[in-house]
Amino acid sequence: MNLSQTLRALFVALAGVHAAGNTGEPLISAPGDTAIIPGWRLQSSTRVSDDMSGLSQPGADVSSWHHVGPRGTVMAGLIEDGVYNDMELFYSENMKQLDSETVFRSPWLYRQEFTLSPTDSQHFALQTHGITSKADIYVNGELIATSDEQQGSYGGHKYNLTNYVQDGANCLLIRAYPTNYLRDFAMGFVDWNPYPADNGTGVWRHVEISQTGPVSMSPFRVITDFNKAGQNQQVNVTLKTDLVNQAQKTVQVTLYGTISSPDGSQVGPITHSLELRPGENKTISIRVPVENAKIWWPARWGAQPLYTVQASALVHDKTMKVSDRTRPQQFGIRQVSSYVNEHNDRAFIVNDQPFQVLGAGYGPDLFMRFDETRVEKIFQYMLDMGMNTVRLEGKQEHPELYELADRMGMMVLAGWECCDKWEGWEYNDDAAGAKWGESDYPIARAAMLHEAEMMQAHPSMLGFLVGSDYWPNDRATEVYLAALKEMDWENPVIASASMRGYPEALGPSGMKMDGPYDWVPPNYWYGDKGGAAFGFGSELGAGVGTPEMGSLKKFMSTVDLETMWKEPAADLYHMSRYDSQFFDRSIYNQGLFSRYGKALDLEDYVIKCQMADYEATRAQFEAYSAHQNASRPATGSIYWMLNSAWPNLHWQLFDYYLSPMGAYFGTKVGNRLEHVAYNYETERVWLINHSLEQDGDREISIDLIDTNGKEISGAKVDTSTVPNSSKEIQQVSGINKIKDVAFLRLVLRDTKANRELSRNVYWLSPKPDVLNWDESNWYYTPVTDYANYTKLETLSPARVKARVQPVKAKSKDGLTYAEVQLENTSNVPAVFLRLNAVRSSDGTEIAPVYWSDNYVTLWPNEKLRVVVSFEGDITQTVIQVSGRNVEKQALKGSR
């Protein structure tokens, strides 16, 4: 064997991931091994002695402690161990009972024993990734880190364990201190929901133990010089890693590794040799030219080819010995940049194309539990709704989230959170976070270094916002920027998500945070103030997201439900937190009742909510899409919010149980790749194109009918347009002839392929909503006169014939596909048809469920096919059909 073959053989033999051992097996045993602490015993410090040294010796009696998994907050652990039941806590106002629990005001202990067999020349380290709010760490009776250093939810540190580990049983004990969002660098919820009883305290991220020889290496940072797609693309990939020689003597080191291409072939090998003096550390940089590079694209624009790099550091002794190795790390080749345009608005570019952000704000689980398959479903929903970006506001989650985003083509806009310690600036009077002192800067630095290292190589990263409502002061900005630079952060860094101010070093953010967060009518989005469709809205929406009945009954008691529709201004525990502006639905309900009529009963309330929510999200995304290349372009919109941390009544596009609803399908229509939309302000029709490559001639049909199905106006337009742009087509005629309510149907067809690309129905009132822009505040714009949709309460009933038929799946996603054929057999429109899939055994909702379209309105005589896909069996499924003026029916699936 030559050197390269020897290296390869060594590499292959050691590449396997080490499984965490138990019962006497060493947790790790070879250099290059890393293991996650596989689980913990959890106990309140109030229930045990305060002899931490004794408790952190192997053999201490912890038989009465809770058993929990490898990562989780205190509440997550107590739920996992059966002390609490989350669905019980989430029901009605049950969770309030925990507010008086004093046990959450004292530290909690996480303890685990594991076996090691250290030998001379082997080095051991403990890696944390953040413990909320801060912690003391003991190993085998010794305090190895104090809460002065181990601080913050994102404080990741590596501690030298070499002198503390012993042959046989070892013990790790973590004392996690309680969390106050205003005092600590934690993960708060501001006004999103009631706070978890423990404020997220605990070992919410993994803790790892690693073993190396004399030389250790850091994860790779990956830099590519790709900036423009071309033929036979050649790209230089630069890999950087930090090596440390922990030995007392000089060592010869060879770095050996490979990059595997998306097609499985190998690029490389990577080799690099150097010498390290005793105690020396060095950052090495290896340039790897990649021929025919496969370019990574956001989901709508192309594929997500991913490369994987892995390497080992080998030391030359008598033989070559592995001293350390990296985990396989994904990266993608793509280019992301951003700038502030001539209107002072932030705009993004991905792979040389203007990238209009159509996104939403992510809510983690209330107890910070992370379920990768759940997040995958959430991202799948986002893609299904035509969204391309998820915003994480100070909830950076775990590496798996970024790997998912890479694989799925979802862009990620990460950043720090608002309204608490993170924004404790002298010039921030809006929030009560404790002002920063001398000791806070090192904590911020550690957090930034750690998160940057975790996110750096991921092609899904669109940018990092070092502030949210407020920008960091100059000193903190310098700390953040230095840490990002150290981690070779090449993606945009943005001062904040608002325009309140900025540090000199970063300049204006170009992002507006001017509301709304509460209900505004659809024409709001076509205005020229506040959150209307121009520039970049970093968090905004009409405050909608009412769950459907099946979900409401899971978390609201009969009394709660009555209160919700009978007392329009009542405080509701499942809205925002009690001290928030959004604790009741008064603004929403006033708009709802004025426009759609007072709720007659719960069912009536819920369908009215669904119609209003659908209208609201559709208009927001349509307006932003229509204005993508306007004279002041709408460069992006982040809907506030995507999902909720617990069962909630607003600020979401699907509910906690992953059931979609009106707000979901309004978004899905508004974001269509090619679409025709109605501008409520100008009464004109817009043609929208988000595509970069679909082609052909297009035809638009515009039809307006009254509630009796009688035609008011009709038009057909042939057109063509250019990619990633939108244009006005023409005025809808007959709007002035509307008596009570009319329906407008817009259809876009590809004439060559004879295919419908978009079909979409609006309900319109002769009376527009009138906004009082001058009275706008940070969360809404009042309305002085409302549109009138009360005629919808007294529509003539329509009859709809519906059939369900299984279809052979074209995709390999393993889902069951079925087609629902709808046919209106009456001479009036069938309005707002809701399709719902339930299990025939117990009537429970199937979720997630993907409908090609839903909440559709049919013209008299019109037939429509809708496709549904889900995990399950069509013969065990019932499709429920109901609508504004259509009687409920249930269709049994058959083969």
Ligand X SMILES: *[C@@H]1O[C@H](CO)[C@@H](O)[C@H](O)[C@H]1NC(C)=O
Q: Contact positions toward ligand X, by CB under 6 A?
A: 104-105, 123, 160, 162-163, 178-182, 195, 199, 225, 234-236, 244, 246, 281, 289, 353-354, 629-631, 674, 687, 689, 691-696, 698, 720-727, 740, 788, 790-791, 823-827, 860-861
DSSP designation for 874:
G
Instruction: Establish whether 86 is a catalytic residue.
Output: no
The amino acid at residue 662 is: G
CB of 691 to ligand X, least distance (A): 5
Residue whose structure tokens are 């998994």: 69
Helix-, strand-, coil-residue percentages of the chain, each rounded to 5: 20, 35, 45
CB of 380 to ligand X, least distance (A): 25
**469 a catalytic residue:** yes
Residue 464 or residue 534: which is nearer to ligand X going by CB? 534
| 8/282 with CB nearer ligand X | 282
CB of 743 vs ligand X, minimal distance in Å: 14
Pair 705, 639: CB distance under 8 Å: no
Secondary structure of 424-485 in HEC code, one letter for each residue = CCCCCCCCCCCCCCCCHHHHHHHHHHHHHHHHCCCCCEEEEECCCCCCCCHHHHHHHHHHHH
- Kindly state the smallest distance separating residue 798's Cβ from ligand X, in Å: 9
**CB of 573 or CB of 817, closer to ligand X:** 573
CA neighbor of 121 nearest in space, from 24, 211, 242, 9: 211
CB of 321 or CB of 627, closer to ligand X? 627
Q: CB-wise, 236 or 844, nearer to ligand X?
A: 236
Determine which helix (DSSP H) or strand (DSSP E) holds 698, and give its type and residue range.
strand 698-706
Q: How far is the CB of 633 from ligand X (least distance, A)?
A: 8
* Catalytic position from the list 33, 184, 440, 539: 539
Q: Which residues contact 811 (CB under 8 A, 6 or more apart)?
A: none
Q: Are 393 and 365 within 8 A, CB to CB?
A: no
Q: Hey, is 861 helix, strand or coil?
A: coil
CA distance 883 to 561: 21
Q: Are 333 and 294 in contact (CB under 8 A)?
A: yes
Cα 203 to Cα 136: distance, rounded to the nearest angstrom = 12
CB of 823 to ligand X, least distance (A): 6
Nearer to ligand X, 265 or 631 (CB): 631
Residue 123 or 608: which CB sits closer to ligand X?
A: 123
Cβ of residue 726: shortest distance to ligand X, in angstroms?
Answer: 6
CB of 237 to ligand X, least distance (A): 9
Nearest C-alpha neighbor of 663 from the set 721, 620, 714: 620
Specify which residues 175 forms β-bridges with. 109, 136
Cα separations in angstroms, 35 against 74, 125, 318, 370, 399? 22, 11, 28, 19, 16
| Active-site residue identified among 440, 469, 488, 703 | 469
What are the angstrom distances between the C-alpha of 608 and each of 30, 264, 565, 602, 614?
63, 53, 11, 10, 10
Query: Cβ closer to ligand X: 67 or 277?
Result: 277
The pair of three-digit structure tokens given for residue 48, joined into one six-digit string? 């045990």
DSSP state of 163: T
Residue 327 or 801 with smaller CB distance to ligand X: 801
Instruction: For residue 340, give every residue at least 6 positions away whose Cβ sits within 8 Å of its Cβ, in sequence order, or none.
Output: 346, 347, 507, 508, 509, 510
Helices (H) and strands (E) in the chain, counts: 13, 50
Q: How far is the CB of 129 from ligand X (least distance, A)?
A: 17
Integer CA distances (angstroms), 122 to 212, 323, 359, in order: 6, 9, 48
Catalytic residues: 469, 539
